[in-house]
Structure 1
Amino acid sequence: MRRPLIGIALVAVMGIVVWQWPGSDAVASAGAPRAAIASQPVANHGNWLATPTADGKLTMVAGGQLVIDAELRRLFDFLLTDSAEKPIRQIKDNARKVLAERLAPGAANVAYTLFERYIAYRDALGNVKPAADATPARLADVVGRRNALRRQFFSEEEANGLFGEEERYDRFTLDRMAIEADVSKSAADKRAALEALENALPPALRQARREPVTHLVEADKAAELRAKGASDEDLFRWRSQEFGAAAASRLGELDREQAAWEARLDRFAAERNRIQADASLSAERKQQAILALQNSQFTTQEQLRLDAALALRARQ
């Protein structure tokens, strides 16, 4: 339950497009050929309307033994979010403090040594060169080298805990690409093979694959229902059936917030147009009046999205 609302980003990685989670060990490769490799930590997947949190949830088993999983890696990435601005010594000291606060002494020591190795691994990852093209074979080579690098810094058990779900999804995606590129298969054979491959995924991974586009499906369906005259109550009933009552309530609140924002844009645009049409004002006075209007109606953060919102309206 830790994913930001509609917060999955597409980034270019090693010549690969990934569904990136915050702080993932993706290596940027702008302009490289792209395919679809996922990097989504299933331990953190859940309702796509979930409230975001900053870091991972650490787990210990009986005896205070640390559970090494994607949540621990999430915390490591969170601790490294501002690594470009802070000295590495300060980052490590902060990590030691955070881990000591959350874990028993023995587990905290284990986690800290893993964190130090994770830093070294992230540094070394920059030497894994992008694939020259997006063929399954070349991408498999890059992914293989990355996975091998992980095992230079972590034991097999540690690597499986930190990266296992991502690596399983990478294998699925490479297999999927290979099926699609197989010229010896008919379209029907490919569909059957892809369906079998999809069905072989663990349920959590299948859900993670669907979630990135769920909000698009919901938005299209909601727009369709509204165009047919659906009321807020009608939408709530449909959303409750599809996503549950809690999600339906959150979506309804988002609708209200968006409607309020659109109304404010309407008022601002109308008043700005009135100022621009006022022949008694000089160009300088018009600019001053519009700026004063903007400052009076929108916060500093809202003004960052104001121009884009108005430009989008003009194109519609």
Structure 2
Amino acid sequence: MKKTVLSLIGVAAAASAVCFYNPTTSDAPAIQVPSQQDTKVDTYSSRDTFDYFLSGLGEADLETLKTHFNTYNAGQPNAYQLDNDLFERFIQYRMSLSNLTPDNQHPFNTESLQRLNDQVLQTQSAFFSAEEQQKLFGEENMQRQLALRQLELKDRMIHQDDYDAAWEQEINTLPPVMQQSYRNAAVLSQLQATNALDEQERYLKQQALVGAEAADRLVTLRKARADFETKLEQYFQQRDAILADNNLAREQTQQALHELRQASFSASQIRRVRALESIRESQSVVQSQ
């Protein structure tokens, strides 16, 4: 059930904190926080662009992120500029989620989740027109409704075959892209369930689910992930030693860390490593308080 209501629990988490290729995209450092330096602004939709800038919260304060967005937006051709007022309302909406009242005693209860969903939709209506809601949250809202429907079916259906048939009917009502997404999610769930098996049994099960070629790729991926985790552990040990060296000036420390990253990881891995460093530093600050 926990997996079923993942999207709803994401909303509940947001209630306790402010969470936060079209042409001519500007990626100048002046509009990005450090972890975004090697990325392009996500312009797939206005919602994606809003989320991109707000994802820097924590590395920069909200006013700085607003300035980043406004600078970026002003540099776009008129036809591709986004609505500044819509961005402001999107921020206010995110902040207002802190006023929601999720049921912490029964977080996975269907009725509790339905009430939470109703609160989210009411909050959206307070800030956006129906057209804006659909544009910003259409798929997200549909996913929550579907998650609730799935819970209702699980509560009502006694036999697994009856549930499977009813759930398949629900999926068939979705747009084709979402149908495929939910079917892929079902396969992914089955793949994740193989993690508790030994290596040989896991490979055979995965081969049955996705075929030999994909199962081989999963083996390669697991090995690459394990190698990365090993390198990361070694890197953090060396990084801690550099940070603890009082004989190094600040510039020397930063240079040493830069050289260590370059020597330890590929260019594609460094962005991920820097993000993990930020998380680790944040956790250290919290633990020291």
> TM-score normalised to the size of structure 2?
0.55
Matches within 5 A, 1:1-316: 17-18=6-7, 26-27=13-14, 55-58=41-44, 71-101=45-75, 103-105=76-78, 107-108=80-81, 110-131=82-103, 132-133=105-106, 134-182=108-156, 185-187=157-159, 188-212=161-185, 214=188, 217=191, 223-224=199-200, 238-239=212-213, 254=221, 257=224, 299=264
Query: Are residues 299 and 166 of structure 1, via their aligned partners in 2, closer, same or farther at CA, if it must alter by over 3 Å?
Result: same
2:86 counterpart letter in structure 1: L
Question: Which of the two has greater helix per residue?
Answer: 2
Q: Which runs of 5+ in 1 are unaligned?
A: 1-9, 31-51, 59-70, 229-236, 243-247, 269-294, 306-316
- Write the distance in 2 (CA, Å) between the matches of 1:56 and 1:25: 25
1:57 counterpart letter in structure 2: T
Q: Is the 8 A contact 1:79 1:91 kept in 2?
A: yes
Q: Is the 8 A contact 2:8 2:113 kept in 1?
A: no
Aligned residue pair count: 208
Q: Is the 8 A contact 1:198 1:206 kept in 2?
A: yes
Question: How far does residue 79 in structure 1 lie from its aligned partner after superposition?
Answer: 0.5
- Write the distance in 2 (CA, Å) between the matches of 1:86 and 1:215: 36
Over 6 Å off, 4+ runs: 218-222, 225-228, 261-265
- Write the distance in 1 (CA, Å) between the matches of 2:85 and 2:230: 53
Query: Are residues 216 and 222 of structure 1, via their aligned partners in 2, closer, same or farther at CA, if it must alter by over 3 Å?
Result: farther
- Write the distance in 1 (CA, Å) between the matches of 2:203 and 2:66: 55
2:83 counterpart letter in structure 1: A
Q: Secondary structure at the match of 2:6?
A: strand
The sequence identity of aligned pairs, in percent, is 25
Question: Deviation per CA, 1:13-64, whole angstroms, max 9, x where unpaired?
Answer: xxx533899xx8952669xxxxxxxxxxxxxxxxxxxxx9665224xxxxxx
1:62 aligned partner: none
Question: Which of the two has greater strand per residue?
Answer: 1
Which is greater in Rg? 1
Question: How far does residue 129 in structure 1 lie from its aligned partner after superposition?
Answer: 1.2
Q: Is the 8 A contact 1:128 1:142 kept in 2?
A: yes
Q: Which runs of 5+ in 2 are unaligned?
A: 18-37, 205-210, 235-259, 266-272, 278-289
- Write the distance in 2 (CA, Å) between the matches of 1:222 and 1:238: 17
Q: Is the 8 A contact 2:93 2:127 kept in 1?
A: yes
1:177 counterpart letter in structure 2: L
User: What do you get for the CA RMSD once the two structures are aligned?
Assistant: 4.5
- Write the distance in 2 (CA, Å) between the matches of 1:227 and 1:252: 8
